[in-house]
Chains A and B, each alone.
Chain A
């Protein structure tokens, strides 16, 4: 694995049952590449939460995964409404998800905190009405 391996996914909006397919695919590819189970699990959980968020809040978007021998970088970009208060959104238990999302098992206000918890680095760039880009890195 000398060069970075790049995987890209388009996350379709409003299809909750398919949310998680991209994360599942990445998980399988990392396994084939012989990445450690610990790193795979961190990537899978963080990306899955991000993918769910894109479907729930942002009308879908795009995910780019870059795999190098030292790290796995995930870039999740959407053109959704943006996050008004990032600090608040990072608090465990804070959620703006509607009740219907909660009845599907999400919207507990753990998405962003979980993404941070399972990655070695996470940055959020967001602009209201323009969109959000979240970059997460997991070290090998």
Chain B
């Protein structure tokens, strides 16, 4: 699916990266622990998290993550959004909780990738 699909499924707001919404995503990962995310390395991934600090962007950068989704209404500050913008990482924000967000994407066909 594309990031646009992710955005529609989650009823999410685009905070940055509007111009890249047609990018393809093939797997997703949901966690507030960045080291658990770093243990996961797949191409064309979406990262769902409730953690709101600059290290989320750095983690996404190291893993070449296409799109970040801040769940349960978390709002990253300007510094975080600016960092994502510089790195061309799309940032979405949804009011849905982590479990629901993951479930909605999974149901729509986005998997977690093989272990």
Interface residues of A (CB under 8 A from B): 16-17, 19-20, 23-24, 27, 37, 41, 44-45, 48-49, 52, 102, 104-111, 113-114, 117-118
Contact = CB atoms under 8 A, between A and B. Distances in A.
Interface of B: 32-36, 38-39, 41, 49, 51, 53-56, 58-59, 61-64
Given A44-B62, A49-B38, A105-B33, 13 more contacts: A17-B55, A19-B58, A24-B58, A27-B62, A41-B41, A41-B62, A45-B63, A105-B35, A105-B56, A108-B36, A109-B35, A110-B33, A110-B38
A41 B41 CA distance: 9
Contact of A106 (B35, B41, B64): B35
B35 A49 contact: yes
Chain A facing B: main interface SS = helix
A105 B39 contact: no
**B interface secondary structure, majority:** helix
Given A108-B33, A110-B38, A41 B64 contact: yes
A37 B39 CA distance: 17
Contacts, number: 72
Given A45-B38, A106-B35, A114-B39, A37 B55 contact: no
19 contacts: A17-B53, A20-B55, A23-B62, A24-B58, A41-B62, A41-B63, A48-B38, A49-B38, A104-B51, A105-B49, A105-B51, A105-B59, A106-B34, A106-B35, A107-B35, A108-B33, A108-B36, A110-B35, A111-B35
A110 to B, nearest CB: 4
Contacts of B35: 49, 105-111, 114
A45 B39 CA distance: 9
